[in-house]
Amino acid sequence: MFRSLKNQLYNFYKSKAVTSKTDISDDILNFSITTTVLDNIIDAEESIAIKKIEDLLSKLTPRQKEVIYLRYMQIWSMMRFLK
């Protein structure tokens, strides 16, 4: 989310050739982003889940990894695997 905002601001400034005076009001630029305890908990849970998935994937054979990639990343059906 932060990266998207940064990229949008960067693209805006790059396209407008910003000088000392712009059309952007101070109200738009003066904002703050706060994170809550819930955001921190969610981030921690996501990092734990990612670590578990990476650990489980590292135990698979190359063929098993290929099947998982094709099934979930390329959205192949089970019938396609049977062919």
CA distances from 64 to 47, 57, 71 (A): 23, 9, 11
State if pTM tops 0.85: no
3-class DSSP state for residue 64? Answer: helix
Considering its fold, how many domains does the chain have in total? 1
User: Residues 1-50: pLDDT tens digits?
Assistant: 667 777 777 776 666 554 555 566 666 666 677 788 998 999 999 999 99
The token pair at 71 is: 């099934």
| Residue 54, burial from CB neighbour count under 10 angstroms (0-12, 13-18, 19+) | exposed
Contact between 45 and 37 under an 8 Å Cβ cutoff? The reply is no
Contact between 4 and 10 under an 8 Å Cβ cutoff? The reply is no
Q: Which domain holds residue 50?
A: 2-82
